[in-house]
A and B are shown apart, each in its own frame.
Chain A
Amino acid sequence: MLVDDLKVTARLAHIDLDEASLGAALPAFEQMLDYFAAMMAADEDGALREPTVSTSVVGYCMGPQALRSDVVNNQISENNTAHNNPSNNNPNSKANSNLNNPNSNNPATNFTLQNSLLNSAPDVNGRFIVVPNVL
């Protein structure tokens, strides 16, 4: 973790940290990130091996009523063919218009979802959506 990383993060968060404050914040910041890094071991030790039932505790607690009846649930097919063709950026393609599982851990599905969102954005910069200033 570099001070520069913390500076960028602070700017994004609209928090102005002078050099002294940065120096004071950095150890606590690094200490927490080091602890967060302990989660990496979960990939190897089997803690996550069981198929994920749901990563949304909100959905679990709220049950079937979690979604309002008037909300359209766009879905992406799990079997979408874009897995084989990640360069398919056509927003009208069947593969990209089916958003099935936004919580999917499948990188290919996530990639397709990202492409779909990027193609729908009015303005993009690389792989980022450009949001106009409102103030």
Chain B
Amino acid sequence: MSEFSAYFESWESKIGAFIDYHWPSAFQGPSLPGQKGGTTATSSPMEALPFAVKDNIAVQGFGLTCGSALLSQFRPSYTATAVQRLIDAGAVPIGKTNLDEFGMGSSCDTSAIKVTNNPWDLHRVPGGSSGGSAAAVAAGLVPFALGTDTGGSVRQPAMFCGVVGLKPTYGAVSRYGLVAYASSLETIGVLADTVSRARDVFAVIRGPDPMDQTSRSVPPWAPSLTAGDFSSTPRRRIGVLSPEAVERAVAHAVAQSNQTILRSATLEPEVDRAFRRTQDELRALGHELVEVDVPTLRYGVPAYYTIATAEASANLARFDGIRYGRRPEYAENPDDLVTQVRSQGFGPEVQLRILLGTFVLRSGFQDRYYLRAQRIRGAIQRDFERLLGVGPLQDAEAGESGDHRRVDCILMPVFPRRAFGRDEEGLSPFAQKAADLYTCGANLAGLPALALPVGVEEGLPVGVQLVGAAFSEGLLLDLAQEYEAAHPIQRPSLFKSYWG
């Protein structure tokens, strides 16, 4: 344990992934039964594995800051269902990780608690909002961590840090114990060092929960989560979302003068190169790749931010200094109390999103913004359904030939850029939002998506994502694990593997 403690402290002092952590006294270090993935008949793959939890998910015994000054002293009185299931399976929560305040951001830099750095380059961001979880896994401090994904907040930091990120189907994992930001979009997700680990964790945390009415059982037709022999698994038909087509569509939808949005849709050369190479590598594994289009995705970002901010304005109303939040020394009246708490407690990005959400829900503006965004959301959902279907593949359909047959999953970029810096070459807050183009679609449609590292370009990791039909996580994991076996995930320098 002492060697690992030194390793842990050395990394943590540089990357600042954790807001709070403590190793249980009973924890004997990484060399415990189960660390190799459960080698005995009775052991669970989770047995004695430490894990980290994004600090917007409740774990009794730890704080729950949500990266906000407003909740810096808050202690939850219960543990989230997803965390409790992991504890019941033998895993050990050892800390809470940094995040953008209330999950609102793509860099971890909107956290009011601390700064988190990318293990690959300490001058760059780890991504967000689950940046602390991604950085902790990438540095090998924990084998896996829980994050949350509202518009890409698991997948984008997974790509920036070179780890696996799984955003499950909406409803597959209970949200009980997650501090709500945008309830109809967000899911608890997994960041893991390997695809196999992500599979093990997801198998434990998924399933219905009476404490969350939006959670549901896995349908009987859903692909199995049991990893098989990849040499005998069927070759897949993979749709490829062409970034060029997306760029053209975005250019059509927004004013040509808005260069920030147009630039945000364009892949930087390193990301583009890795994306094309991945297509070749998947073909080499025997899969069929066909180009697909999701035309309505060009409206994805504005629709996503309209809905997310509207829901945020309602969900964050509870942080009023009465129900939640630290009270000021003095207030004239209850209205003044609430206003003081929210004005001083929320950071600028959270305030901006609450203002936007309040505005789009104001009388007279609902039709123009919120209701239109909901219609676009329905259209995006239909576009994905057209490509992926909504249930088991029918025999007749499986035998159909031609380009109209649906695909097993869709391959697309995660984010147009690799991890960006905090200097003048970084991304503005608006550019970061516009770059959610490739991730927010899965949230709007409630579909599972898996971010997978596919290489390192100029010293920084690049990833791609696979989006599947609802409850097709097993299929996505099989495909990703097959790819990982042929192209092992690369790690940052000074990384040591303690977790088997």
Interface residues of A (CB under 8 A from B): 5-6, 9-10, 12-17, 24-25, 28-29, 31-43, 45, 47-48, 50, 52-58, 60-63, 65, 68, 103, 105, 127-128, 135
Contact = CB atoms under 8 A, between A and B. Distances in A.
Given A28-B429, A41-B253, A50-B379, A15 B303 contact: no
Contacts of A37: 302
Interface SS of chain A? helix
B346 interface: yes
B372 A52 contact: no
Contacts of A68: 213
Contacts of A45: 252-253
Contact of A58 (B184, B258, B430): B184
B170 interface: yes
A47 B299 CA distance: 9
Interface stretch (B88-96, B239-247, B336-344): B336-344
Interface stretch (B69-77, B79-87, B125-133, B354-362): B354-362
B149 interface: no
B151 interface: no
B432 to A, nearest CB: 12
Interface string B255-289: 10010010000000000000000000000000000
Contacts of B358: 9, 12-13
Nearest to A55: B378
B369 A39 contact: yes
Contacts of B255: 38
Given A25-B348, A29-B352, A61-B470, A52 B375 contact: yes
Given A32-B430, A42-B299, A135-B334, A13 B320 contact: no
Contacts, number: 159
Contacts of B216: 61-63, 65
A14 B320 contact: yes
A57 B184 contact: yes
Interface string B40-83: 00000000000000000000000000000000000000000000
B446 A36 contact: no
A6 to B, nearest CB: 7
B491 to A, nearest CB: 35
A31 B264 CA distance: 14
A121 B373 CA distance: 28
Contacts of A36: 302, 305-306, 360, 369, 373
B433 interface: yes
Contacts of B346: 15
B39 interface: no
B381 A47 contact: no
B301 interface: yes
B359 A33 contact: yes
Contact of B295 (A32, A34, A47, A105): A47
A14 B339 contact: yes
B348 A13 contact: no
B139 interface: no
25 contacts: A12-B362, A14-B339, A14-B343, A15-B343, A17-B343, A25-B351, A28-B352, A31-B430, A33-B356, A35-B302, A37-B302, A39-B302, A41-B299, A42-B299, A42-B375, A48-B379, A52-B379, A53-B382, A55-B377, A57-B378, A62-B171, A63-B216, A103-B374, A135-B334, A135-B335
Nearest to B471: A61
Contacts of B356: 29, 32-33
Which residue of B342, B354, B355 has the most chain A CB atoms within 10 A of its CB atom? Answer: B355
Contacts of B359: 5, 9, 29, 33
A52 B184 contact: no
Contacts of B169: 61
B301 to A, nearest CB: 7
A66 B306 CA distance: 24
Contacts of B434: 35
Nearest to B353: A32
A56 B385 CA distance: 14
Interface in B368-413: 368-369, 371-379, 381-382, 385, 390
Contacts of B296: 42, 47
Contact of B444 (A39, A57, A62): A57
B290 interface: no
Contacts of A13: 313, 342, 354-355, 358
Contacts of B338: 14
Nearest to B321: A14
A45 B258 CA distance: 19
